Amino acid sequence: DAGVTQSPTHLIKTRGQQVTLRCSPKSGHDTVSWYQQALGQGPQFIFQYYEEEERQRGNFPDRFSGHQFPNYSSELNVNALLLGDSALYLCASSFGQGSEKLFFGSGTQLSVL
């Protein structure tokens, strides 16, 4: 049984570009949350998707958007990249929105030059 898979694992972009990150949740999970983790910091909540809708959102600008597909997979899009967007982007899946036990992918390391 595959766990949470994310692609790509690494990505290099330049300022002003746009990026799309992808996530496939663990089998049987219906909820996907996205987190941003800066080096040496804890994961920061970006948003959560359930039933193909954004249900919760953290303190991130509208440049960050997402989508969830009928098969529960999800995408994170970031427009107009800034240097400060360089971070590890983690996807976490769960069964239901209020689960305490999240299953994380290994993340996408985004570098903005």
Partner 1 sequence: GQSLEQPSEVTAVEGAIVQINCTYQTSGFYGLSWYQQHDGGAPTFLSYNALDGLEETGRFSSFLSRSDSYGYLLLQELQMKDSASYFCAVRDYGGSQGNLIFGKGTKLSVKP
Give least dist CB 32 to partner 1, A.
12
Least Å distance between CB 34 and partner 1? 10
Give Cα 10 to chain centroid, integer Å: 14
CA 48 to chain centre: 9
Q: Which of residues 39-58 bind partner 1 (CB under 8 A)?
A: 40-45, 48, 55-58
Residue 10 interacting with partner 1 (CB under 8 A): no
Closest CA to 32 of 66, 62, 63, 81: 66
One residue of 20, 67, 75, 103 binding partner 1 per CB under 8 A:
103
Contact positions toward partner 1, by CB under 8 A? 4, 33, 35, 40-45, 48, 55-58, 90, 92, 97-98, 100-107
